[in-house]
Structure 1
Amino acid sequence: MLSVLDRRGLGPVAGVDEAGRGACAGPLVVAACVLKPGDAARLTELTDSKLLTARARDRVYDRVIARALDYSIVVIPAAEVDLLGIHVMNIEGMRRAVAGLRTRPGYVLTDGFKVPGLPAPSLAVVKGDRSVACVAAASVLAKVTRDRIMFDLHGEHPMYGFDVHKGYTTTEHGAALTEYGPSAVHRWSYTNVATAAAAHGRRAPHKVMLTVAALGQLEASVRALDEVVSQNEGSAAGSRLSSRGGARIP
């Protein structure tokens, strides 16, 4: 597909992909990449970043950075995801990544779904990160960038194990959330994070737009905590709960 577009004079072609959409902690990272004509064949290891080992991803990342005609990487913090929602920020991140290219693309290929508002004609390619070289390159740039950010965040919040699961919802991550509650870099709009926050009596450190599922779960958690407090008023010293955030108020 990439070579066909180039041959028809519709290039340069930019591929766009993200990393971290399904995580409940850490940023969303979106990358756009324009490869040189013929580099799809030269970058022999290039494929969907999820299919590569960490060492292979690092090798491909270095080669793409060195050889790409142009690339742009956008990091969207958890607070922005919480404010407007993951799908909205995913679309916005792809727009920002394409806008950040110095080379104006003639065509844009996105992975999986259509992105309105791009500055060039675009096409959504199902499993594009496995079939189109420039999308795969963007996938690697986004994934490696995000993994490195999560490794750094592990140094700040070692109890969660971000260096291992990279902020995705695993059994170990869920257990840490239950034990410690969420950190400032968690996505407080997500159901499991909102539930853990309510259980620990914490408010989000930034504005949050809860999903319907998260709001329902949060209300259930608050009701359960209310019952515990009302049954133990003597030991609770008259503490009460806020129905909005589940935070304990002295």
Structure 2
Amino acid sequence: MTPSTASRFTHKVALLTGGAAGIGLAVAQALLDEGAKVFIVDYSAPNIESASQTLQSAGYNKSAYLLHYADAADDASVIAFVDKCVEVFGALDVAVLNAGIGGIQKPIWEFSAEEYDLIMRINARGPFLGVKHSAEKMKSLGTRSSIVLTASVAAVMGTAGLCAYSMSKFAVRGLAATAALEYARFNIRVNAVAPGAVDTDMPKGLNDVQALVSSTPIARIAEPKEIAKLIVFLASDDASFVTGSTYRIDGGSGNCG
């Protein structure tokens, strides 16, 4: 696909975790549309295969992106794919750390320690490692850079039945705020987005999708591309004075908590 004449990411390289489906794939397409080279990481082989077909069918230049299978919550793997991104594309200007899993829905008293550890590993440890290693690479390259984390409306309000998921997303919100302070002097901005219900596999795995719709003042769930637009804005130089913030994009549902 030919980038628009108003491309904000021409000559820029973006690293994207959880990028082969849902919000992540929408972000990949939005970045490619605006001229970026995109290194797409995902831990699902079927999603990678599907994303490859989607991107090819859409006509994106194969030299503009690379799909890479890796665990975004494993320290050695994160170091390796950050290095690989720079090796392949020669730079690292943006990191969108989107990899995550949906919440196991049950009350606290039914939650096992193993279930808690699984959610926290992927949703909190993963973003921590992503920020740590991508920001260190950005520092060494010395360019003005941006990191965007995917949190959730569950990061700004309590959510009954989703204790571990909510905890993990509060952690992402805290990570964005703290990392923004620590990396500001290196010209690295860090922000987070907090989506409400989105039309992906995650809300479909919850017990009552209709309840999500009815609790959203706009009375629908979001399309992935709507979340992608906010992420791409925060990643771009249009948001050059924005850092340390978590931006709700939830159709007003965060007002109901």
What TM-score, normalized by structure 2, do the two folds share? 0.26
What TM-score, normalized by structure 1, do the two folds share? 0.26
Greater length-normalized contact order (CA 8 Å, ≥ 6 residues apart): 1
